[in-house]
Structure 1
Amino acid sequence: MTGYASAQYSPGQAPVAPESGKPATPASRLGLEIRSVNSRFLDLAFRLGEELRAHEPALRELITARVKRGKVEVRAAVEGTAAEALRDPSVRTLQRLSALQDTVRSWMPEAGPLTVAEILRLASSEGGEAADWTEPVQNLAKQALDDLLAAREREGARLATMLLGHLEQLRALAKQAQPLVPQLVEQQRQRFLERWKEAMALTEGAATPEAAQDRALTEATSFAIRIDVQEELTRLAAHLDEIERMIRKGGEIGKRLDFLIQELHREANTLGSKSAALELTRISVDMKVLIEQMREQVQNLE
């Protein structure tokens, strides 16, 4: 199912770096968003900033515990202003960088001097400690995941209403098909008996009436067996009842509904293949249209 959720964390001060207990390099905001689109299976993709990549296993575990279907993309990044990104390098750091540069150039005279940008980057990398984003990332992920699941639940409720409506239409079509088969059998029986009477008139006694009538009744019985769809209608009704029960119960029902929809399609196909009347063929086609619509939506349910 589809869904989108996002969350942000804006600390009043820079996050505390582990072990030192001192503020780490300032960062103004941590942003996280989760997107979900339809998919029969769970497909996770992560787009994390460099400083957050270590949190991917924990995020993956958190999501797989609560989401079973869908193509899910998680994006997270730490954003800061230019003023926050620039830190004044200490004199000790500058002295160390200068000494290192002199050492390198004494061995490699062709090496170019450090630029201001390179000095600021190296000083920032050396002077600042990595922020511990573990707790904020987990909290944001849980918040965004709650919002995402709520959105998916609302969509699921709409899909459930649509599926229940299609179930009622399928029951109505099955009810229309129910009396057609006995009528067809009786019509065919009358035809066979008429053919028997015509045959008796043409043969003028060459065949015994009992043998001819038995043959006609045998053919009528064989025809009735070939077109009998009562078994298919019974199984179809059972599948419809089970689908309705599962939808009303809720929970993780997507994969089981996939199987039941396939069974519905099988029964509708058999109904059409046994059809001996145009009306029964129409009912079979209408059933398959409804079942196909259900199949497309059921693949989105978790």
Structure 2
Amino acid sequence: MLESMTGYASHKGDALGHSWTWDLRSVNAKGLDLRLRVPDWIEGLEPAVRGALSKALARGSVNLSLRVQKEEEQGALSVNAGQLAAVLSAIKTAEAQAAEAGVTLAPSKASDLLGIRGVLETTSEETDTKALLQALMAEVPALLESFRAMRQQEGQALQAVLMDQLSQIETLTAQAAEAAEARRAESADTLRSNLARVLENSDGADEARVAQELAMLAVKSDVMEELDRLRAHVEAARGLIETGSPIGRKLDFLMQEFNREANTLCSKAQSVDLTRIGLDLKAVIDQMREQVQNVE
């Protein structure tokens, strides 16, 4: 199936006290350009994700971002003995100085002491990044499946457009063949007229030599080879499209060949009808080449 290089997919998940959001999108590019934004504190995550994308995709400018958040948890509470001792010592000193000054202080309560910064601590388990890495990578296949499904949907529409353009090229090639055949009779008459004119106005001209030169000019203006190659290119392009992606590079090269034959046809035309058909061919080929730029 044909795939477009334009695609988008997102996915949310949670496990091991964490929640996350995947965001994957791509646009057309000559090759595969991967740009990842993933948490660097999860060891091995970036190379693992990069490897999975490289295996699944052939072309496109691909951007992937992953946001991981730790869920709030109520950890175990513990008293920092050192900090508490420092606070009690400070209170004792303050009470002594207040007594000397004749100031009576209200007795301190336990809740007051625990509310002082650093006395009461929350402890929590460290994140197991290996387990988290496995949980995240387990979701990559589903993310890629959703992503490629959208690219294939875009590719189906693109395939219909390309097939229609190939049919237009095929029709114009047939019209060019008819115009070339009609021009052939005119060319023969023109050749005989030119030969007679040269012989009448040239003393001692070699009739055989003049006829040979004029015949060579007629051969150089023949366009049947170009039309045959255009027909072959149409069949080759259809075969490639039917095989499915990745075929973008091959199609892009084939479009260059299409364009070369159309240019040669226009340069050899020597006919208003054939020139018009050649220009129509070039227009369709240019349109098709733009579409091919988005094929994976």
- Per the normalisation by structure 2, the TM-score is 0.77
Deviates further, 55-64 or 260-269:
260-269
Distance in 1 between residues matched to 2:250 and 2:84, nearest whole Å: 68
Match of 1:4 in 2: 8
CA offset digits 1:177-214 (Å, max 9, x no partner):
113234333323323433455566678xx669xx54x4
The more displaced of 48-57 and 253-262 is 48-57
Partner of 2:77: 90
CA distance in 2, matches of 1:148, 1:128: 35
CA positional deviation for 1:8: 1.1
Select the residue among 44, 52, 59 that pairs with 1:62: 52
SS at 2:138's partner residue?
helix
Q: Check 1:232–1:142 CA distance in 2 against 1; reply closer, same or farther (3 A cut).
A: same
1:147 lines up with 2:146 in the alignment? yes
Counterparts of 2:148 and 2:82, CA distance in 1: 52
Displacement, 1:166?
0.5
- Partner residue, 1:296: 290
Bigger radius of gyration, 1 or 2?
2
How far apart are the structure 2 equivalents of 1:99 and 1:259?
79
Among residues 126, 129, 134, which one is paired with 1:129 in the alignment? 126
Is the contact between residue 239 and residue 264 of structure 1 (CA under 8 Å) also seen in structure 2?
A: yes
What one-letter code is carried by the residue in structure 2 that aligns with 1:273?
A: S
Query: Partner of 1:239 in structure 2?
Result: 233
Change (3 A) 1:268 1:140: same
- For residues 56-99 of structure 1, give each alpha carbon's deviation from its aligned partner in whole angstroms, at most 9, with x where no partner exists: 11111111111011111111122356xx16x456325x346779
Once residues 278 and 118 of structure 2 are traced to their aligned partners in structure 1, the CA distance between those partners, rounded to angstroms, is 76
SS at match of 2:22: strand
1:65-80 correspondence runs (5 A) = 65-80=55-70
Structure 2 residue 266 is matched with structure 1 residue 279: no
Superposition map of 1:165-176 within 5 A: 165-176=164-175
The answer for the alignment partner of 1:43 in structure 2 is: 33
Taking only the aligned residue pairs, the percentage that are identical comes to 32
Give the SS at the match of 2:139.
helix
Pairwise mapping of residues 187-226 of structure 1 onto structure 2 (< 5 A)? 187-197=186-196, 212=207, 214=208, 217-226=211-220
Query: CA RMSD of the aligned region, Å?
Result: 3.1
In the aligned structure 1, how far is the partner of 2:252 from the partner of 2:118?
60
For the residues of structure 2 that align with 1:240 and 1:220, how far apart are their CA atoms?
33
Q: Which whole-Å deviations, capped at 9, do the CAs of 1:83-127 have from their partners, x for residues lacking one?
A: x16x456325x3467799xxxxxxxxxxxxxxx9x969xx66x74
C-alpha contact (below 8 Å) 2:75/2:124 kept by paired residues? no
Q: Which amino acid aligns with 1:130?
A: T
Give, in whole Å, the separation in 1 of the partners of 2:10 and 2:253.
34
User: 1:10 aligns to what SS in structure 2?
Assistant: strand
> Relative to structure 1, is the Cα distance of residues 53 and 3 closer, same or farther in structure 2, using a 3 angstrom cutoff?
farther
Contiguous gaps of at least 5 residues in structure 1 = 16-25, 101-115
Q: Which residue of 2 aligns with 1:261?
A: 255
Change over 3 Å in CA distance of 1:145–1:230 after alignment to 2: same
**Offset at residue 153 of structure 1 (A):** 0.8
> When the two structures are aligned, how many residues end up with a matched partner?
263
Change (3 A) 1:223 1:52: same
Aligned to 1:130, what secondary structure does the other structure show? coil
Question: Which residue identity is paired with 2:77?
Answer: S
Which letter does structure 2 place at the counterpart of 1:3? G
Secondary structure of the residue aligned to 2:29 is coil
User: C-alpha distance in 2, partners of 1:97/1:289?
Assistant: 81
Contact between 1:181 and 1:229, CA under 8 Å: does it hold in 2?
A: yes
Runs of 5+ consecutive residues of structure 2 not aligned to the other structure: 87-114
Q: Is the 8 A contact 1:265 1:288 kept in 2?
A: yes
The structure 1 segments of at least 4 consecutive aligned residues displaced by more than 4 Å after TM superposition are 96-100, 195-203
2:191–2:215 CA contact under 8 A, matched in 1 = no
Alignment partners' CA distance in 1, 2:247 and 2:36: 27
Matched, 1:230 2:220: no
